[in-house]
Chain A
Amino acid sequence: MSAPLKVAIADASFLMRRGMMSIFEQIEAGSVIELLEIDDPEQLKTILLNRNPDILIVNPSLLGLYSVQQFRKEAPQMKCVALLVSLADTHLMGVYDDVISMYDSAEQIRHKLTQLLAHCRRGTEKRYKHLSDREKDVLLCVIHGLTTKQIAERLCLSFHTVMTHRRNISAKLQIHTTAGLAIYAVANQLVTLSNHLPPPDKDGNGSLPLPPASLLF
């Protein structure tokens, strides 16, 4: 069983958001999807960073200073769908995976969404895979409480590469918390005395409100 698909709906209009949500609820009567509501560009940024939605349905006018190309770079697996309330240049819509217009018929909208969900589900079935050696290195650093920046320095990788590794680890294992990754690592004996990392640098470990998983080892 995989985690529920996460669908983010970004539109300034309450009516549009709730309308989309209720269509999703109708299609997915058993509700195995998690719906996230977004009404401003700042919130869009936070949700994309922290929640990793599988599908983003966005009104292009809500993007603010962000662009779809940027999202593609940071979250390549995420499906982007434009939600249009007016006519738009079809060339500009080319960057999206699909376009839903306010004037689409109920049947058209349902068809597009069902296709999209089916596509994402096929993607998730392939998710459970073993971690690569590099991903294991990153995983060990993460559970020892290192920040992405510290991991990049330690493993001589770029910040973005580490971010990508972290995302892939979470996607492969379907675990989204550091504490959860620590259980995985211990249960699978990835953590033994031989690959014990030195404690993180003094200047980077004071910000966690809870004891970091590094206290375990």
Chain B
Amino acid sequence: MTRFVLAKSLRALVTMLIAVTLVFVFIRLSGDPAAALAPPDVGQEVIDQVREKLGLDRPLWQQYAHYVGSLAQGQFGYSIHTGRPALELFLDRLPMTLLLGGTALAIAILVGVPLGVLAALTRGSAVDRFAMAFSVFAFAMPNFFFGIVVILVGALGFGLFFGGVAGSQSLVGLIAPAATLGLAAMGAFARFARSSTLETLNKPFMIAAEARGVPWLRRLIHHAVPNAAIPLVTLIGLSLGGLIAGSVVTEQVFAWPGVGQLLVRSVETRDIAVVQFIVLVVAFTMTLANLVVDLLYLAIDPRIRVR
């Protein structure tokens, strides 16, 4: 068991290190960072000064060591445009993104999972067919298009204007973008909850429980749900990537002042320090989430501990 935890942690660490290395390589490939960071219309001496200050005149491996070292010390560089630390810009935006993402995940779980379980319990019924149609719909629906339809219907049909800081302060102003962001995950949860429940319901231990005369509801809650929940834990962990990716677009559609909007704006203005920092944060968050899912598996499914 300790070996399992150690192996998984080591793997996460290596993944993170490779991500850091790739970011370093790509930034170095892009051209001369000194010329990009120096003020415009300055002479060669100034650019050389910047280069020396950034350590860009040293061998590449020293630069790399310096880069990893400064990341480890929490120095993530400064935004070219505002002059503020990338970390600070990110932290300013983080609460709004967490609010949006958290609400989206909650909506996705609260709607998707019961829908999928219900579909499995009433297999072949109209509910089941609706749930499956919904999951296909949710997968194929681009969030930027759905968001636009939501904005359009809200504005023309109900006189509600979503988007911007003002929009984010009302409950409807939160639900509309959160439902847009959570739609894809909702469909995936419904589909997985359905297949996972169906699979569990057909397991021998369920038949055995029925034969022993265990009441229906008890069978469902004590026998079926814990077993069906195992793949769902993974799925919720894995849906994080989709939520992060989706928030980039959703925040843009709803003018939501979060990290996704900051990322897009920084890419447009080529604010490399900010972009690089957000990319590293995403890699770190998702690597950590994958690790947590692996370890949670250990807690939920005792069979893994034996191996």
Tell whether A pairs with B. no
* A-binding residues in B (CB < 8 A): none
- Chain A residues near B (Cβ < 8 Å): none
